Amino acid sequence: MAAVDVQRVNGTSHVGDWPDRYYHVDQVLDRPGPRTDPSFMAGDGVKDFLRNQCKILVIGAGGLGCEILADLALSGFKDIHVIDMDTIDISNLNRQFLFRPKDVGKPKATVAAEYVMKRVPGTKVTPYYGKIQDKDDDYYMQFNLVICGLDSVEARRWINATLVNLVDPENPESLKPLIDGGTEGFKGQARVILPTVTSCYECSLDMLNKPTAFPICTIANTPRLPEHCIEWASVLEWPRVQGDKKMDTDDPEHIQWLYNIASARAKEFKIEGVTWQLTQGVVKNIIPAIASTNAIIAASCCNEAFKIATSSAAYLNNYFMLIGTDGVYSYTFEHEKRSDCPVCGGESLEVSVPRSWTVERLIEMLVEKQDIQIKKPSLSTATAQIYFQAPKQLEEVTRPNLEKLVSDLVPDGGDITVTASSLPFSLSLRITYV
Amino acid sequence: MIKIWSMKKNEEAAAKKKPKTSAAQIRVQKDLTELDLPPTMTTHFPVPTDLLNFTLTITPDEGMYQGGAFVFSFAINTNYPHDPPKVKCTQKIYHPNVDLEGNVCLNILREDWKPVLNLNSVMVGLQYLFLEPNADDPLNKEAAEELRKNREQFLYNVKQSMRGGHIKGMPFDKVTV
């Protein structure tokens, strides 16, 4: 940090910067406050980091994403990347304010990036139109921070597990704070996850509300609600009539077909309220989005990003929830790490074995090992089963592996996942050979 | 800058890592290897390396469906256990809680699924349907109606359908062992 160009630090050499551009933000960065972290270095160093070095990834350019991008750019983050796999739909325009009617059909990430760069000079926003799963560890490694504004549990689980696995104890740079925002109607949450250090997303998976599902017999026999008719069309009639054809909830023709079937069903049972929009809402599990909830949650997320990037104030530890259904209620608490979390919990063990060891010998060693106390372990690598104790068929299929050398099945430094009923969840073995 | 960043920058790239086993995969491994099934239930893996798609055969040793072998397909997605497994009966059977398309009415497969449940609970639940068919949650309305009104006739229909016979003109699959 020693030889920093003062000009650069003040930002004056940047395209689009003007005197006092950061006047208000600098109030926070120029001097420590009563609650700043002891490591906070007020002044040019922190400003240089925020404006010239910090690279932040935004996942999702939808309702939350648009707000997040604007907030980050305006608070002085200058190197922002954004990923989104969606294109703009006309129904997004009421709240996703970076998009205009002419943008309908274009990728959200690209349009959002261009808009922010146009409105906030000097900010570089790099879009990627695609899935987060397209990118590898090296890609995620380049960022200092990741902020998510997602609407899917699956995507959150994926990025959470990816960032947890990225952590290399030898390399502090590999720990990427993850800030996750989420909204559902008038309710929202923001959380700070320091992978492997604090509770991760998977730790709290069982806190999630399950999506509304109706008993299949009600759908089939005694529908009372328009939703029952729509589920009848999508769950029972689609597979019956369309066979193996996959339902695409983004295809208007598919929605139309479901709508027609559901309407006929509704008529038969004298149920009112089946509309095209409701049909789409039920099959896509759409929860009405409220622009102000998104704004609050995005602001909270970006506030955390700013505090973490600058250490100018204590960051959220680690869960903030907002309930706006009756007035405005919020509560902050620390969600604890789960020792049996399948992603960040569980034991990890480095074992060093002779190249001459068979799988059977390795299992013997695990069973004998006093400190782990495993009974009947089942072993696999990320891509193949090594030995399964049950079911019978899999035991028989994997039994020949018992005679094989571990070194023929697992590379040096490779991982083996061990499960056993005596383990809370699983044990990860890192194998090295002697 | 928060502490982790005050440390040396990018000294050496982290060692290239192997694809890590996903949480869903580990959970399925755990569920499967710890299945505690009675001899009336057996699993079969058409592709033994694919743990996410398999079948379960239930051969009830008591009750009205004794003597039959009922085969269910299980399809587990990568969002397991947040999402329940998708279970279908692969045969056309006469049962109040299973329709002619193979859909099954079992609460823990839909509205009452929770991530704390596992494959064992689903399998035990399925077997229970054959021991105690439930006329109150019908998927096959005619079968349910029959069970409620005339238990003798229902039992006769079950036996008839299991042999591959017709019920009211509707052919059923032969499921007797």
> So what's the ipTM on this one?
0.81
Determine, for residues A215 and B105 on separate chains, whether the beta-carbon distance falls below 8 Å. yes
More confident: A427 or B91: B91
Nearest CA in chain B to A205: B82
Least confident window among B11-25, B66-80, B158-172:
B11-25
The answer on pLDDT for B19 being more than 70 is: no
pLDDT tens by residue, A243-295: 888 899 889 999 999 999 999 999 999 999 999 999 999 998 888 889 999 99
From A211, which residue of chain B is nearest by alpha-carbon distance?
B111
Contact in structure between B134 and B97 (CB atoms under 8 Å)? yes
- pLDDT over 50 at B17, yes or no: no
Which residue of chain A is at minimal alpha-carbon distance from B48?
A394
pLDDT tens digits, one per residue of A109-150: 999 999 999 999 999 999 999 999 999 999 999 999 999 999
For A67, the token pair is 């707000």
Closest approach of A186 to chain B, Cα-based (Å) = 23
Write the secondary structure of B131-157 as one string of H (helix), E (strand) and C (coil): HCCCCCCCCCHHHHHHHHHCHHHHHHH
The stretch A291-317 carries a mean pLDDT of 95
Window 67-86 of B: residues touching A by CB (8 A cutoff) are: 78-79, 82
B169 burial (CB, 10 Å; 0-12 / 13-18 / 19+) is exposed
CA distances from B65 to A206, A214, B127, B131, B143 (A): 36, 28, 10, 7, 14
Q: B149 phi and psi, to 5 degrees? A: -80, -45
**CA-only gyration radius of chain A, Å:** 26
CB contact under 8 Å between B115 and A425, yes or no, is no
Chain A closest-CA separation from residue B163 CA (Å): 25
Residue A4 has pLDDT above 60, yes or no: no
Q: What percent of chain A has pLDDT over 90?
A: 67
Write out the catalytic residue numbers of B: 105
More confident residue, B12 or A417: A417
Question: Does the pLDDT at position A26 exceed 90?
Answer: yes
Residues A34, A200: Cα–Cα separation, whole Å: 29
The pTM (predicted TM-score) of the whole model is 0.77
Q: For chain A, what is the mean pLDDT?
A: 90
The percent of residues in chain B predicted with pLDDT above 90, rounded, is 76
Please state, in angstroms and rounded to a whole number, the distance separating the CA atoms of residues A84 and A61: 6
Q: Is the dihedral of CA B27, B33, B34, B37 positive or negative?
A: positive
* Alpha carbons within 13 A on the beta-carbon side of A354: 5
Across the interface, of A173, A381, A388, the residue whose CB is closest to B33 is A388
Q: How far is B151 from chain A (nearest CA, A)?
A: 21
| Confidence band for A343, pLDDT divided at 50, 70 and 90 | confident
| Contact map slice: B 121-140 vs A, CB within 8 A | 137-139
Q: Inspect the interface and report whether the beta carbons of B110 and A417 lie closer than 8 Å.
A: no
Is residue A339 very low, low, confident or very high in pLDDT (cuts 50, 70, 90)?
Answer: confident
Question: How many CA atoms are closer than 13 Å to the CA of A121, on its beta-carbon side?
Answer: 10
Each residue of A153-175: pLDDT tens digit? 889 999 999 999 898 888 888 99
CB within 8 Å: A391 and B42 = yes
Rounded CA-CA distance A74/B74 in Å is 50
User: Is a pLDDT exceeding 80 seen at residue A420?
Assistant: yes
Contact B120, B35 (CB under 8 A): yes
Sequential DSSP letters for B100-133: TT--B--GGGTTT--TT--HHHHHHHHHHHHHS-
Res. B54 pLDDT band, cuts 50 70 90: very high
Size of interface A-B (CB pairs under 8 A): 175
pLDDT (0 to 100) of residue A6: 39
Scanning A187-275, the segments in alpha helix (DSSP H) are: 216-221, 226-231, 238-242, 252-268
d(CA A187, CA A168): 35
Residues A188-197: tens digit of each pLDDT: 999 999 998 9
Taking 80 as the threshold, does the pLDDT of residue A49 lie above it? yes
pLDDT (mean) for B101-115: 92
Which of A173, A316, A386, A428 is best to mutate for the B interface (most B CBs within 10 A)? Answer: A173
Return the pLDDT at A38.
81
Per the omega criterion (within 30 degrees of 0), is the bond before A391 cis?
Answer: yes
Return the residue in B21, B108, B116, B119 with the most chain A beta carbons within 10 A, the one to mutate for interface testing.
B21
Going by pLDDT thresholds of 50, 70 and 90, the confidence category of residue A328 is very high
Contact B1 A165 (CB under 8 A): no
Nearest chain A residue to B4 by CA: give it: A172
**Is A35's pLDDT higher than 50?**
yes
- Tell me the pLDDT of chain B averaged across its residues: 88
Asked if the C-beta of B26 comes within 8 angstroms of chain A's C-beta atoms, the answer is yes
Smallest CA–CA separation between A28 and chain B, in Å? 13
Per-residue pLDDT at A350: 84
Contacts 24+ apart (CB under 8 A), A313-316: A313/A28, A313/A33, A313/A35, A313/A36, A313/A37, A314/A35, A314/A37, A315/A192, A315/B2, A316/A190, A316/A191, A316/A192
Closest CA to B32 of B13, B47, B54: B54
Compute the distance between CA of residue A30 and CA of residue A44 in angstroms, rounded to an integer: 8
Q: Please give the Cα distance from A312 to A61 (Å, whole number).
A: 27
Q: Phi, psi at residue A72, to the nearest 5°?
A: -65, -50
- DSSP code for A247: P
Does A220 contact B6 at a Cβ distance shorter than 8 Å?
Answer: no
How would you classify residue A43: left for phi > 0, otherwise alpha for psi between -120 and 50, otherwise beta? Answer: left
Mean pLDDT of A309-338: 93
Q: Which residues contact A264 (CB under 8 A, 6 or more apart)?
A: none
What's the pLDDT score for residue A18? 82
Note the pLDDT of residue A15. Answer: 54
Residue A372 confidence class, pLDDT cut points 50, 70, 90 = confident
Q: Are A79 and A55 in contact (CB under 8 A)?
A: yes
User: Higher model confidence: residue A398 or residue A39?
Assistant: A398
Q: Is the pLDDT of residue A183 over 70?
A: yes
Lookup result for tokens 């398999």: B54
